[in-house]
Amino acid sequence: MKKTICLIRGDKTESYKGFNNRILKLTNSLAKKYPSILIKAVLTKEAPPSISIIPFKKDKIASISIKSNENNQFNELKNELGFAGFFEVTEALPVAYDKNWADGETTPGVCLLTLFNQKKSIDYNTFINRWHNSHTPLSLKIHPLTHYNRNVVEEPWAKNKENWDGIVEEHCKTKTELLNPTKFFGGILKMIPNMILVYTDTKSFIDYGTIETYLTAEYIIKS
């Protein structure tokens, strides 16, 4: 099945609750209209902490993932307030949870959504190699991740308002595991060295000035 990700930005006048309700209404409507698709939403459900080692963005955003064997245009998404872009991606799950909750319920735990672009001074093959063969195993070794959804953007829609090369979702069992730096970076003794390792590795393949990170929740609408 082809996987497409749609990014939708929240309006500045919207509350987090209002944005959450809008996106869930939209994705549930799509699931009913297109019975053959698989669809989920990763979205900002609440404001991130004001102080955090992770540089969270405070904007509201939704990453809507659709898997389909059909060539649907999904004009409902293109016409939605805050539409930012469509991205055809190749997905990989280096580590994955076992889904044991009902469709429509909030996925247990918490999710870190990251958008980024390739570092300008390296070629594409180097970008992919460093991302897949260096950063991914390093992240799995250091961070307490229960689910790692890695999406390489293969083809952005020509009329996108913004473009990205990578879209990643990283899940932890609890907010504490994500937001407490000692837990997220491997313990009190390893925290500082691991933070340096992750920062150095990230800068080796990502255009660090454009990276965006969001505190999010996941809703699998139809699995």
CATH number of the CATH domain containing 127? 3.30.70.100
What pLDDT, on the 0 to 100 scale, is given for residue 53?
93
Q: What span, in angstroms and rounded, lies between the C-alpha atoms of 45 and 38?
A: 21
Q: For 112-123, what is the mean pLDDT?
A: 98
What pLDDT, on the 0 to 100 scale, is given for residue 72?
78
pLDDT above 90 for 199: yes
Q: How confident is the model at residue 25 (pLDDT cuts 50, 70, 90)?
A: very high
Q: What span, in angstroms and rounded, lies between the C-alpha atoms of 165 and 178?
A: 24
Q: For 127-152, what is the mean pLDDT?
A: 98
Q: Domain range spanning residue 103?
A: 2-222
Full-model pTM: 0.96
Q: For 123-141, what is the mean pLDDT?
A: 98
Q: What is the count of structural domains for the chain?
A: 1
